Structure 1
């Protein structure tokens, strides 16, 4: 079994891809208000929201427990509506040596897709692939979509 992996999920987002990208890039702290059952908090530790090099801390619910993750924004590409985070601290670092999460929005045939790509290296062969984390992201994306579709 290899220790490196890559998981990808593309989710249709009916509320408009620009809405999702804008929220994640410039107002991630609002996600805890939109989806409190998944995200408990988002704090800026260093830099500014939406800028490369900034460090963000997340409190989230995974497997029924509050977990923490600290991420640095590694890359932003406005044209591709792409943001890349590298997890640098938190519960996930107990399982993964390296975890990079890239989220981008693409429009294909008039349909907006939010794509999450997780590239990772497990600490050892006993660690499971982060499928449940990817599933959590899918649930979060659908929750954000539902919230925005309900807005007048």
Structure 2
């Protein structure tokens, strides 16, 4: 059995692809407001939010457990509305030698889609593939969408 893998999920995002990309790039510290119970805090450790090389420390709950992770925003591609984030330290690294998250937005037939790609290397064959993590990011996307759609409804006369 191989120790490396890639999981991909794509879902429609009704609040606008630009909104999603800008939120995750420049305002990850606001995830706690949008994802209550899932994300507790996002603190800037180094650099500036939204710039490649910035390092953040997240506190979150996943699979019913409070956890944390230190991550670096490795790559930004504005044309593809893509962010690549690498986990440097944290609970997930107990099981994986490497864990990289890519999120990008694309428009197909006038509909915006968010695609999450998890690339990882397991420490051993006993480690499960991070399917629960993919589900977590899907849930985060839905929460962010609901958060932004709720905001836009507040301003409708």
2:39 is aligned with 1:59? no
Q: C-alpha separation between the residues in 2 aligned to 1:107 and 1:70?
A: 31
Give 1:35 deviation, angstroms.
1.1
SS state of the match for residue 127, structure 1? coil
Q: C-alpha separation between the residues in 2 aligned to 1:109 and 1:139?
A: 24
Q: TM-score, normalised by structure 2?
A: 0.95
Q: C-alpha separation between the residues in 1 aligned to 2:47 and 2:66?
A: 25
Q: C-alpha separation between the residues in 2 aligned to 1:70 and 1:25?
A: 16
Q: Which residue of 2 aligns with 1:137?
A: 137
Give 1:11 deviation, angstroms.
1.1
Give 1:77 deviation, angstroms.
0.6
Q: Which residue of 1 aligns with 2:116?
A: 116
Give 1:138 deviation, angstroms.
0.2
Q: Which residue of 2 aligns with 1:15?
A: 15
Structure-to-structure mapping, 1:14-53, within 5 angstroms: 14-53=14-53
Give 1:66 deviation, angstroms.
0.8
> Matched residue pairs, number?
152
Q: Which residue of 1 aligns with 2:75?
A: 75
Q: Which residue of 2 aligns with 1:104?
A: 104
Q: C-alpha separation between the residues in 2 aligned to 1:148 and 1:74?
A: 26
Structure 1 residue ranges without an equivalent (≥5):
none
Q: C-alpha separation between the residues in 1 aligned to 2:88 and 2:32?
A: 21
Give 1:33 deviation, angstroms.
1.0
Q: C-alpha separation between the residues in 1 aligned to 2:10 and 2:34?
A: 21
Q: C-alpha separation between the residues in 2 aligned to 1:58 and 1:116?
A: 18
- Name which of structure 1's ranges 90-99 and 32-41 shifts more when overlaid on structure 2: 32-41
Structure 2 residue ranges without an equivalent (≥5):
none
Q: CA RMSD in A?
A: 0.7
Give 1:37 deviation, angstroms.
1.5
SS state of the match for residue 150, structure 1? helix
